[in-house]
């Protein structure tokens, strides 16, 4: 069989962002003619020719020899998605390229981006794409008007003047993208960082812009989200330059602002489960091998687990919060289990490090519950605060929740209602009322201590903070006495060295806050340290003087960590 007989040319057309085979030819010129004919149809999103060569060993080698894609212009009117909260105000041109600005673009231009399969990064770094969206109906003017109105409503000022400011900046961004295209850009090689040295840029900011313009020029030819995601994740995984990874992270976050997240997660039995799965993905803990997206999901999950994509992680968390705040039921198929689903979300967001994303999570949980109560308006919000407090895993978590909520917009009108909830905490008489008795002693004390720390760091009035934190400290002290925690650590039958180390390790573990409980434990240590000839007794049984001195040095370091400086 000759080389010609082993070669065929496959013609593919792009439909809804995916390549679909339309015909196969033996001759390259016939295939190219067929692709050109496809492109004559104004509704065709793209056409390409793939050369297939059958090797003698039976394997097939594919290579793309022609590809042209485009945004279909006659796809009907596209409108903005009205946003309800004002985005951060961009004061400098560079702010418009930032992650906050692009996240707003993802939301307000969602309908357009889903049709065109482009990201905010591609639009603002590629002149042709920027021109397309500016020419599309009244999309850009409507978006600018919405943003300007929200920003001036919140901070004051003239909305018309703010619109003019935004339009002026958009014109500067358009000129910048045009200059990049006219000056010529290198092709993207194996790594994004490889093109840094080839870019004629006066400063780091301009170099980053041009590097993203290079990346955008390639991504535009991929008109489906999973394809873009796989390419970006592959680049990030292989990229040796941390700054280049940061740039890629921003573009991956753009892609995750699209509906591709649903493809990654696959079918979910409820919105509540989808929110929990989204947080699993943000933490790099998604069971990616079960995702219908395959390799892109596994790559993304691994990069998130390695902590290489902080901006993408924030994007996923923001999306989870917006879904939580939405009016969509958490369990549409079983309305009677809505509260059960809500509590499952609460449990996922109550992490060992605190409430998942602090004030943002507290706000989202409260807003969701306000949709579950019968009352409306301010009465409904008050009821939601009380109900969310009760829905926390325990009362210690209730304290942490209120402290985080006090940092949100709810505090402006409902601070007194938050303070009122603390009476439930102040009514507790033992640690088991504040934290579940089923927890191991160390975890129980650590959780109470976390609530104590949250209270002292909160914006509540000093009198309230002192009262609640003092009560928690008292519960911890009573727990130490009732359970004889210190006495068990300082068992008289154990060698002095073991007793001293156990007590100091306990004080250094962070399971008790500064206060009466910790002072009680420290007093026991001081009693040991003041025993005559403590050092001699401490090193007793250690085989050599050198080893004894090393053990003493380690013990003194532990003393400093435990607060005995």
Give residue 3's pLDDT: 47
- pLDDT at residue 2, as a whole number: 47
Least confident segment among 90-94, 463-467, 491-495, 540-544: 491-495
Q: Where are the domains of the chain?
A: 7-69, 93-273, 329-482, 489-561
* Residues whose CB is less than 8 angstroms from the CB of residue 321 and which lie 6 or more positions away in sequence, other chains included: 357, 360, 361, 363, 364
pLDDT at residue 146, rounded to an integer: 93
**pLDDT by residue (tens digit) across 519-549?**
998 998 898 889 898 888 888 888 898 998 9
**391, 369 contact by CB (below 8 A):** yes
* Total-model pTM: 0.81
Which ranges of 156-241 would DSSP assign to H, the alpha helix?
159-183, 204-219, 225-238
Alpha-carbon distance values, 299 to 102, 279, 305, 308 (Å): 23, 16, 10, 12
Structure confidence at residue 76 (pLDDT): 66
The DSSP output letter for 328 is: S
Q: What is the mean pLDDT of residues 424-445?
A: 93
Q: What pLDDT score was predicted for residue 19?
A: 79
The pLDDT mean for the chain works out to 90
Place of tokens 């033996």: 26
Across residues 92-113, what is the average pLDDT?
93
- Helix 359-370 to helix 310-325 angle, to the nearest 10 degrees? 20
Q: How many CB atoms lie within 10 A of CB 113?
A: 25
| Cα–Cα distance measured from residue 350 to residue 397, given in angstroms and rounded to the nearest whole number | 8
- From CA 116, how far away is CA 258, in angstroms rounded? 11
């Amino acid at each position: 069989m000759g080389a010609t007989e082993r070669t065929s040319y496959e013609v593919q057309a792009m439909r809804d962002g995916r390549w679909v085979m339309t015909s196969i030819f033996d001759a390259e010129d016939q295939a190219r003619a067929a692709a050109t004919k496809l492109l004559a149809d104004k509704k065709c999103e793209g056409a390409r020719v793939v050369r297939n060569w059958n090797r003698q060993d039976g394997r097939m080698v594919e290579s793309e020899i022609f590809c042209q894609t485009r945004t279909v212009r006659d796809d009907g009117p596209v409108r903005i998605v009205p946003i309800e909260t004002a985005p951060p105000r961009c004061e400098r041109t560079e702010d418009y390229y930032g992650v906050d600005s692009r996240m707003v673009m993802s939301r307000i231009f969602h309908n357009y981006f889903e049709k065109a399969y482009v990201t905010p990064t591609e639009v603002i770094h590629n002149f042709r794409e920027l021109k397309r969206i500016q020419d599309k109906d009244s999309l850009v003017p409507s978006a600018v008007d919405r943003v300007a109105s929200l920003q001036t409503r919140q901070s004051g000022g003239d909305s018309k003047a703010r619109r003019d400011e935004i339009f002026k900046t958009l014109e500067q961004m358009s000129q910048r993208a045009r200059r990049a295209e006219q000056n010529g850009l290198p092709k993207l090689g194996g790594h994004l960082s490889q093109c840094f040295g080839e870019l004629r840029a006066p400063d780091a900011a301009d170099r980053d812009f041009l590097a993203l313009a290079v990346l955008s020029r390639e991504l535009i030819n991929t008109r489906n989200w999973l394809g873009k995601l796989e390419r970006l994740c592959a680049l990030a995984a292989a990229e040796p330059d941390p700054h280049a990874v940061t740039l890629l992270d921003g573009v991956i976050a753009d892609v995750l602002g699209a509906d591709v997240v649903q493809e990654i997660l696959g079918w979910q039995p409820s919105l509540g489960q989808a929110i929990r799965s989204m947080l699993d993905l943000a933490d790099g803990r998604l069971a990616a091998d079960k995702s219908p997206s395959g390799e892109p999901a596994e790559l993304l999950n691994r990069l998130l687990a390695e902590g290489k994509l902080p901006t993408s992680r924030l994007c996923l968390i923001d999306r989870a919060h917006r879904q939580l705040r939405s009016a969509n039921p958490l369990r549409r198929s079983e309305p009677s289990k809505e509260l059960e689903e809500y509590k499952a979300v609460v449990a996922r967001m109550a992490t060992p490090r605190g409430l998942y994303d602090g004030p943002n999570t507290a706000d989202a949980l409260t807003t969701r519950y306000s949709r579950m109560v019968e009352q409306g308006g301010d009465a409904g919000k008050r009821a939601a605060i009380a109900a969310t407090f009760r829905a926390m895993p325990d009362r210690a978590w209730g304290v942490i929740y209120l402290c985080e909520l006090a940092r949100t917009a709810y505090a402006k009108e409902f601070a007194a209602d938050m303070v009122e909830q603390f009476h439930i905490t102040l009514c507790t008489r033992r640690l088991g009322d504040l934290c579940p008795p089923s927890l191991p002693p160390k975890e129980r004390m650590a959780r109470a201590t976390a609530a104590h720390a949250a209270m002292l760091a909160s914006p509540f009035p000093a009198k309230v903070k002192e009262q609640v934190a003092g009560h928690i400290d008292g519960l911890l002290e009573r727990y130490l006495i009732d359970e004889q925690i210190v006495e068990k650590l300082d068992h008289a039958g154990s060698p002095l060295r073991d007793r001293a180390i156990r007590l100091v390790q306990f004080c250094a573990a962070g399971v008790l806050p500064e206060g009466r409980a910790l002072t009680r434990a420290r007093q026991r240590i001081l009693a040991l340290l003041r025993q005559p000839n403590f050092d001699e007794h401490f090193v007793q049984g250690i085989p050599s003087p050198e080893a004894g001195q090393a053990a003493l040095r380690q013990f003194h370091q532990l003393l400093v960590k435990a607060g005995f400086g």
